[in-house]
Amino acid sequence: MAEAQATPAVRKIPAPQGNPETKPFWDAAQAGKFLIGRCTACGEAHYYPRTLCPFCFGAAEMEEASGDGVIYTVSVTYRGAPEPYAIGYVALKEGPRILTNFVDCDFKALAIGQAVKLKWTATEGLPVPTFTPA
């Protein structure tokens, strides 16, 4: 008789704390839209939502991003936590890199340069952007 395989536990991702400056980002997130910033002065795209460009301190506007990217770096943790989890940076198609969790995948199969796509993950508060293989 074959042994039943246990379903791996899913790591609970903590709810983000919003503030007035990031409210447009989190409002869009609740509608399933992923926003990044773009400077109106130098044109550079950036992620994490903020009103000033981190490159030249010009005014930044939010724009919808595709949610497509590639793994820039990845780290899988198997010890010291109740269940394994994978985090790393994703280089978005639009240019910025985002620190994120990887979900709904075989962590051993994750590789630098692998195509990934955005997946909104529910928390006890606001949804958070996570990524899964494309």
What is the spatial distance between Cα 2 and Cα 6, in angstroms, rounded to a whole number? Answer: 12
Beta bridge partners of 38: 45, 61
Q: Which secondary-structure segment (H or E) carries 30? A: helix 23-30
Angle at 36 between CA 32 and CA 38, to 5 degrees: 145
pLDDT per residue as tens digits for the range 24-48: 999 999 999 999 999 999 999 999 8
CA atoms of 33 and 60, how far apart (whole Å):
18
For the segment 70-75, the average pLDDT, to the nearest whole number, is: 98
pLDDT band at residue 69, thresholds of 50, 70 and 90?
A: very high
CATH of domain 66-134: 2.40.50.840
Is residue 73 pLDDT above 50, yes or no?
Answer: yes
Q: Which of 104, 106, 102 is nearest to 74 (CA)?
A: 102
pTM summary value = 0.87
Locate the domains of the chain by residue range: 20-65, 66-134
